[in-house]
Structure 1
Amino acid sequence: MSERRRRIRMVTVFMILIILLLAGIWLEINAGYRKISPEEMWEILKGGGTKSVRYTLLNLRLPRIFTSLLVGVGLAVSGCVIQGVSRNDMAEPGILGINAGAGLFVAAFLVLVPQSSVSLTVLLPVLAFAGSMAVAVLDYRLARTGQGISPRRLLLMGVAVSTAVSSVTTILMLRLPDSDYAFVQNWLSGSIWGANWQNVRLLFVSLLLLGLFVFYKSRTLNVLSLSYQTAVGLGAAVSRQTVVLLGAAIAMSGLCCAVGGGLSFVGLVCPHMARRLVGPNYRILVPATVLTGSVLMTYADLISRTLLSPREIPVGIVAAVIGAPYFLYLLIKT
């Protein structure tokens, strides 16, 4: 394929993803009993519109839309980084137990401090990040060999640690009162519970900085995705760069888990979709993964809200239904 045709293909792919994303956002805006016309939307953007419609759009729907979109971006880029540094196509935050670690810390806090004077909304991001970091460090230590991280060991250790952590979480949940049990269960299933402008701002700023850092390190990711010997031969500080990039991936995943719960398969499926669309070059793959993650989560959230309306399906279940067949395909292929 010539360079010109390759560029045209890339532009076409990005344009289609952007159109799909905008269409999904518009469908989500109108997913409810109260439809919002383009004229009403324009009036609200200018500062007008009726009070009820403004409240529905600005306080209910837009925070939910942007939260789910940003969660998809964070988990997708996190999975992309983890797959690159581990050189393992089936690695992602959920399979490595990072989501399970976040859930463990949340459940343990509710058991140990049932009558907290501090709002859980404030503590949840800290707890989720700490749990993600703890499990990620354990995975890294168990998977590390004399030549750096072993991809096979990383996957196997991640699955084992994830299973153990999930079992401990289940034991802790049995000690919770019904209300806290339901909260943790919904959180583990993947529920966009933290849909407010405060979390949107936190996610946007954090993911923007971490995403720009990952994009800046795209050349390093290209080298790390090769074999260990090749990366060392090209002069890469494999161990140090792996730790730095894994830290960025864990931070993104932990923040997304705090707001979106234990979402699975998003970090696995989206990088693979993007890789098939634009190729393995991380300078193009990272932006494409951003778009695929946002598109997947936007439509998953749309389905979760409308499929059994007025009841709502946890968005994590919808994402898993979309991602599980692709994961089985990868297992059969490899």
Structure 2
Amino acid sequence: MTESGRKLRTSAVIAILAALLAAGIWMDINAGYRKISPEELWQIILGGGEKSLRYTLLNLRLPRVLTSLLVGTGLAVSGCVIQGVSRNEMAEPGILGVNAGAGLFIAAFMVFLPQSGLKLTLLLPVLAFAGSLAAAALDYRLALTRQGLSPKRLLLIGIAMSTVISSLTTMLMLRMSDSEYAFVQNWLAGSIWGASWPNVRLLSLGLTALILFVFYKSRTLNVLALGHQTATGLGVDVSRQSAILLGAAIAMSSLCCAVGGGLSFVGLVCPHLARRLVGPDYRVLLPATVLSGAVLMTFSDILSRTLLAPNEIPVGIVAAVIGAPYFLYLLIKT
């Protein structure tokens, strides 16, 4: 394919993903008993509309839609960076123990400090974020060798740590009441529980800064993909750049985990989908990954709220059900 043909294909893919995202946002806004027409939406935007409908849109549905979109974006880009740095297409944030560490901190708090005067809803994001960073930092420290960071060692240690931490979390959950056990289990399955405007603002600011930084490092990711020796020969400090990029990826996934629960499959399948659509060049792969993650999580949120309404399915389960068949197809094809 010629250069102009590749650019045309990339532009078409980006446009289609953007259109799917716009359609998904509109469908997600209307995923409820009360539908909102375009005229009513416009009136609300202008500051009018029914008071009850305005409350439903601005305080309930819109924060949920934006949180799902941002979480999908952050996890997808995080997975893309981790796969690029480790040069392993099976890598994703959950492998580094991010989800497991967050779950352990939350479970430990609920078991050992059940009578805390602080509201759990305020502490949950902080606990999840701290647990994610602690697990990822320990994983990174154990993966360091005399030659620097070993990507293969990082993934193997991450898998072992995730297993150990998950086992400890399960042991703690056995001491919980039925309601606490159900809450933690639902969180581990992936549940957009932190859908509020403060969390939307936090995610927006944090993810925007981190994703822009990763975009700035797209050329470095392209060089790292060539292998350690080639990248070193081209003047890249592989250990230092890998550590910086992994730090950005871990920060993104930790933010998303703090608000969205134990979601992991998004960070695995979305980079694969984007790579198949636009190719391995990170200058176009990253924008495609951003849109792929947002589209997957938006449509997963729609299905999680409507399939068994009024009951809700954890969105992480829905995302896995949607993405798993495609991922299996990719593995069979390759």
- Assess same fold via TM > 0.5: yes
Give the whole-Å Cα distance in 2 for the aligned partners of 1:240 and 1:152.
16
- 1:1-334 correspondence runs (5 A): 1-329=1-329
Distance 2:111 2:332 in 1: 41
Whole-angstrom CA distance in 2 between matches of 1:150 and 1:26: 44
Cα deviation digits, residues 148-174 of structure 1 (max 9, x gap): 444433332222211111000000111
Write the deviation string for residues 253-310 of structure 1: whole angstroms up to 9, x where unpaired: 1111111100121000111111111111111111111100000000000111111112
Kept after mapping to 1: 8 A contact 2:149/2:243: no
**Distance (Å, rounded) in 2 between the aligned partners of 1:254 and 1:133:** 7
Aligned residues: 334
Contact 1:87 1:226 in 2 (8 A): no
- Gapped regions of structure 1 (runs ≥ 5): none
Aligned-residue offset at 1:326: 4.2
Structure 2: distance between partners of 1:238 and 1:129? 27
Return closer, same or farther for 1:2/1:142 CA change in 2, 3 Å cut-off. Answer: same
Contact 1:210 1:252 in 2 (8 A): yes
CA distance in 2, matches of 1:275, 1:53: 41
Aligned in 2, Cα 1:163/1:328: closer, same or farther, shift over 3 Å?
farther
Letter in 2 for 1:51: K
Aligned partner of residue 95 in structure 1, secondary structure = helix
Superposition deviation, residue 115 in structure 1: 1.8
The separation in 2 between residues aligned to 1:126 and 1:29, in whole angstroms, is: 28
Amino acid at match of 2:167: S
Distance 1:161 1:206 in 2: 26
Instruction: Please identify, of 324-333 and 90-99, the stretch whose mean Cα deviation from structure 2 is larger.
Output: 324-333
- CA drift at 1:331: 5.5
User: Counterpart amino acid of 1:306?
Assistant: T
Out of 264-273 and 140-149, give the one that drifted further: 140-149
Distance 1:50 1:65 in 2: 20
1:333/1:3 Cα in 2 relative to 1: closer, same or farther (>3 Å)?
closer
Deviations 1:83-105 (A, max 9, x none): 11111101001233211111111
Counterparts in 2 of 1:140 and 1:194: CA distance versus 1, 3 Å: same
- Other structure's SS at 2:95 match: coil
TM-score (norm 1): 0.95
Q: Is the 8 A contact 1:148 1:228 kept in 2?
A: no
Cα displacement string for residues 89-133 of structure 1 (whole angstroms, at most 9, x for unaligned residues): 010012332111111111112222112222233322222222112
Residues 106-115 or 247-256, more deviating? 106-115
The TM-score, its normalising length taken from structure 2, stands at: 0.95
The one-letter code matched in structure 2 to 1:185 is Q
Q: Does structure 1 retain, via aligned residues, the 8 Å contact 2:191–2:316? A: yes
Is the 1:139–1:158 contact (alpha carbons within 8 Å) kept by the matching residues of 2? Answer: yes
Matched AA of 1:165: I
**Contact (CA 8 Å) 2:142, 2:157: kept in 1 or not?**
yes
Aligned equivalents of 2:160, 2:96: Cα separation in 1: 9
**Unaligned 5+ residue runs, structure 2?**
none
- Within 2, Cα distance between the matches of 1:187 and 1:48? 36
Letter in 2 for 1:40: E
How much has 1:177 moved relative to structure 2?
A: 2.3
Partner amino acid, structure 2, of 1:60: L
Query: Residue 127 of structure 2 aligns to a residue in which SS?
Result: helix
CA contact under 8 A between 2:187 and 2:261: conserved in structure 1? Answer: yes
1:329 is displaced (CA, Å) by 4.8
- AA aligned opposite 2:276: R
